[in-house]
Homo-oligomer: A and B are copies of this chain.
Amino acid sequence: MTKNDEIQSVKELLTKYLEEKKYRKTPERYAILEEIYKLNDHFDIDSLYNIFKEKNFSVSKATIYNTLELLLDAGLVRKHQFGKVQAFYEKGFFNKNHDHIIMIDDFQIIEFCDPRIEQIKKDFEEAMGVEILSHSLYLYARKKEKN
């Protein structure tokens, strides 16, 4: 799937979501979704705001906040809050690797996926009679020093 195909697909998912919820299909919502899916990296509100600014496409921060909330609810982005006050986001539909290793030296983020997590979740659901809706796992790592 090319990046353009991917963008096309998530736009369709957004349309479906907006129609289901009877929300309006505003150009801002599609533009923000598209910009997010063009990015390969994690991003914060400000950098997204600046991308639009550079393109002379006018979107207010309030709208970006609102829209990210909406996309979060639609399941099209993920939100991270690793230790910092400021939240980070990433596109979140096709890249199924849910977990993250944070390199504390340079804050590089590596994604991974380990089936044992899913097993742990299943075990807890059964043991405690609850439904686990989501999870977040971060490993904080640093490159091994050579002594």
Contacts and interface: CB of A to CB of B under 8 A. Distances in A.
A112 B124 contact: yes
A133 B141 contact: yes
Nearest to A136: B138
A135 B130 contact: no
A85 interface: yes
A142 interface: yes
A57 interface: no
Interface residues of A, number: 36
Contacts of A79: 83
Contact of A131 (B116, B120, B136, B141): B141
Contact of A135 (B85, B104, B125, B140): B140
A144 B131 contact: yes
A129 B144 contact: yes
Contact of A130 (B85, B134, B143): B143
Contacts of A82: 81, 136
18 contacts: A79-B83, A101-B124, A101-B128, A103-B130, A112-B124, A116-B119, A116-B120, A121-B139, A128-B141, A130-B141, A131-B141, A133-B140, A133-B142, A134-B140, A136-B136, A136-B137, A136-B140, A137-B137
